[in-house]
Amino acid sequence: MSAPEPAASALAAKKPTEVKPFVVGQASSLSAQELNRFRIHNEGIVRSVGARLSLFLRAEFAFDLEHLDAMELGRYASKAEPIGNYLLFQVDRFPGTGVVGFPKPLALAIGDRMLGGRGFGANPDRELREVELALLNQAVLLALKEYFSKWSDSQDEAKVRIVGRETNIKLLAEDHPTAIVYILKVQAVIGDCFATVDIILPLEMMAQSIQRAMVSMAEAGSDAGDIPKDAVLWNPAFNDLAMRISALWAGLSITPREILQMRAGDMIPLDPAKIDEVELRIEGLPRFRGKLGSANRKVAIEITERLT
């Protein structure tokens, strides 16, 4: 039996080379212009989510998009600040699994508010209790339903479910480090708590919705020349947002003694000139001025002046 030739022996001993995908920069299915449009569209939707959470918590909850980008999941995990609390979720008709990185101080503040507190997070270094995790899941589900309902082509409410929880994003990125995801960094404020929520959306989860949104925005842009410069551009994300309206008069005065002596049935004198100076406030901000009257057997206010 003859010995193998040196060249053949060297080839047999050489291990196969692992071929890795070549990625330049931040690969994305969207161009820079489309990514910018996607960010603009998300700004209105994220504010709508904040308004929905404010109504749910009965407290002011600021929710504003700070940054949006597309990158590999492994790259995000390598440079992301540790949040320590990641909720995995799935949505019907949206393929893939998304992730919400919810900082513990914010989770504690929301739990405190849902339990009747003022929304202040105490001792943010401790672990979340089971009741606080359950309350957080409720708030996150509500926010995600609001968010994906704006992207859905169905009139029904989006069906969202929490499918898991992780404390380290690097563990989630181990299996698919090169997967392209959209990273939404959202600034959240409630009470004395300021925190950044990271929303991680897989490329395939948003692909169809983004295409529809890009077509709609492109069509709207083509008709922009027909819109007067002073016209108000309406964001449909606010169509179903309920707002509190109050009517009041200014200039009335009363002493503390009179307040303490007031009883049911007492009359407060009103200057007749004030009847036509009713101030209408929307969510506490003065917006209109009008005069008191009636319509269809109901007390009504006719708007006479726009304040802002």
3-state secondary structure 111-133: HHHHCCCCCCCCCCCCCCCHHHH
Same domain for 172 and 95:
yes
| Average per-residue pLDDT for the chain | 80
The torsion angle over the Cα atoms of residues 123, 128, 134 and 140, rounded to 10 degrees, is 70
> Does 142 reside within a domain?
yes
First to last CA, the chain: 98
| 233 lies in the same domain as 248 | no
7 is a domain residue: no
Looking at the structure, tell me whether residues 171 and 221 fall in a common domain: yes
Give the pLDDT band (50/70/90) at residue 164. very high
Q: What mean pLDDT comes out for the span 125-139?
A: 88
CATH number at residue 291: 2.30.330.10
56 located within any domain: yes
Pairwise CA distance, residues 124 & 102, whole Å: 12
Model confidence band, residue 302 (pLDDT cutoffs 50, 70, 90) = confident
Query: Structural domain of residue 197, as residue ranges?
Result: 32-237
pLDDT tens for each residue of 11-68: 455 555 554 443 333 445 567 777 788 888 899 899 999 999 999 998 889 999 999 9
